[in-house]
Structure 1
Amino acid sequence: MSRQSKSSKHSHHSKSGGSSSSNNEDVVEQVKSIVTLLYEVVSSRPEECEAYIPSARSATSALDQIHFFRDPQRFAEQVWILHGLQQFAFYDADAGSIRDVTEFCQTSWLRILRNFPDNVEVLNGLGSNWLQRSQSTLAQIHQEEGDSSSQGSSSAGSPSDPRRQGPLYVEARGSLQPAVDFFARAVRSADANGTTTGELLASAAESQMSLGNVTAPPGDERHFSHAIRYLRRAEATPGYTLSVYMQQYLNDYGRYVS
């Protein structure tokens, strides 16, 4: 029952103008305790996530009320809070997301980006937001292609499949193009200051692979080639190991890309 009391704690904070700055600090501390809890639930008790959605929403509305993301002095806290909320919002990305929390994260990342236009963490956060947003649409496409092929339609899911112009494909491309763009900017920024990680390169590769899968030829080739180049760099990053799926992709298709 403590969850309920946690999410209702915010209601009394906006009444007093005189001590608003200390009230704001109280709100931030309460939000941090909620986000700490969300991190823990996602990582260790994902089956309980649904019960914590009201807590996540109370955190976003409290942060909105105090205009938390307008203060460039609080960058580290902003990034930590957004990562936690975003991870929670996509706790079952294939089934969809908690849409209002997802939107809140995206709007907040964009607000921080105005103050830190080349920041790798912020660009990565935006890329991740768009990539995860596409997952439920990609899952629907995958299911449709599976249904079609099980009914004996051999062309389903092949690159020339005319349904690549269908609404699900258009929706998927609408999420994946911004993901590709933000990850590309993140990689460029990281390259410029020598902080590029294998994880970032693998995320950039995944966005390109996914966009290639929902793009009709010959446009798909360009995305697959970009993905291979990112994967080669990720594989060569000291201390980083590609996932089995990514390694397989690189092994299967790498020889076709110079």
Structure 2
Amino acid sequence: MSRQSGSSKHKSKSGGSSDNEGLVEQVKNIVTLLYEVVSSRPHECENYIPSARSAIAALDQIHFFRDPQRFAEQVWILQGLQEFGFYDADAGCIRDITEFCQASWLRILRNFPDNRSQSTLAQIHQEEGDTSSQGSSQAGNLNRDEDFAQLSQDTDDDLGSPSDPRRQGPLYVEARGNLQPAVDFYERAVRAADAQGYIAGNILSSAAEAQMSLGNVTTPPGDERLFSQAIRYLRRAEAVPGYTLSVYMQQYLNDYGRYVN
């Protein structure tokens, strides 16, 4: 998705008021500027923190992330805000901006089951289910009661090679494009938290979930790297005092953790 053309490419799909649309356009202009400052004038970023916060306030005012019809715009805006929020990796992050991004990603990923990423994943799941019913395994899916070694063999047998046409199909390409921003965000969030000497279990668990989701639509060997990183995040989350993994995440860790160094 082009950063430079983001403000002009993403047109409104909703029937909101002209006032709201005016605010959205103002936010897009700010985010376009933030992209530019981060990429070419990072030493000036601190001067633009008030602008980023004003964009966030406007988005909250119009409940922008409650509209599942504006998925592409939402992703583009969040990418710009999160890159700005982490512009100085050594200093950590601008906490209120990155927390806003985290909450907004979770809303996109979980609260709107009909948005593009969820719809794409549902279509992939249906396709793989159809294939499975004809005797094939669901490639890349670790959420089954079989050994990791056997899974690797099944994947090789079923897909043949990393360039398998099905994994390069439009549904998978779209799903990867939709899921990658969340993976990137959580990776940066974990790094920033580590730099500050504190990490919350829910951040690590969400980072693991993002890795797993992307892994399920990624060709080998990239999928294995993603699943392995998910296990590492879950191990760390499990070790956070006072934090308890969900039943699903704990089972995943128990089943496959022993295969990851």
TM range (shorter): 0.5 to 0.7
Q: Name the residue aligned to 2:78.
A: 109
> Which structure has the higher relative contact order (CA within 8 Å, separation 6+)?
2
Contiguous gaps of at least 5 residues in structure 2: 1-13, 31-47, 88-92, 111-115, 141-154
Percentage of matched positions with identical amino acids: 53
Structure number, greater radius of gyration: 1
**Are the equivalent residues in 2 in contact too, given 1:208–1:226 (CA < 8 A)?**
yes
2:50 to 70, 73, 79: 73
Cα deviation, 1:76-114, whole Å, max 9, x if unaligned, reads 67546647846523xxxxxxx313xx3333343345446
The reply on whether 1:157 has 2:139 as its aligned counterpart is: yes
216-225 or 153-162, which moves further after superposition?
A: 153-162
Cα deviation, 1:115-153, whole Å, max 9, x if unaligned, reads 533333255357558856532211111111112223x23
| Secondary structure of 1:240's aligned partner | coil
User: How many aligned positions are there?
Assistant: 195
The reply on whether 1:210 has 2:213 as its aligned counterpart is: yes
1:164-243 matches, within 5 Å, as: 164-243=167-246
Q: CA deviation at 1:155?
A: 3.7
1:144 to 96, 110, 127: 127
**Are the equivalent residues in 2 in contact too, given 1:127–1:181 (CA < 8 A)?**
no
- The one-letter amino acid paired with 2:256 is Y
Q: Name the residue aligned to 2:21.
A: 61
> Using a 3 Å threshold, how does the CA distance of structure 1 residues 107 and 58 change in structure 2: closer, same or farther?
farther
- TM-score (norm: length of structure 2): 0.61
Q: Post-superposition, which runs of at least 4 consecutive aligned residues in structure 1 deviate over 4 A?
A: 57-60, 65-69, 74-84, 125-133
- The one-letter amino acid paired with 2:50 is Q
**Are the equivalent residues in 2 in contact too, given 1:131–1:207 (CA < 8 A)?**
no
Q: CA deviation at 1:72?
A: 3.5
- The one-letter amino acid paired with 2:168 is Q
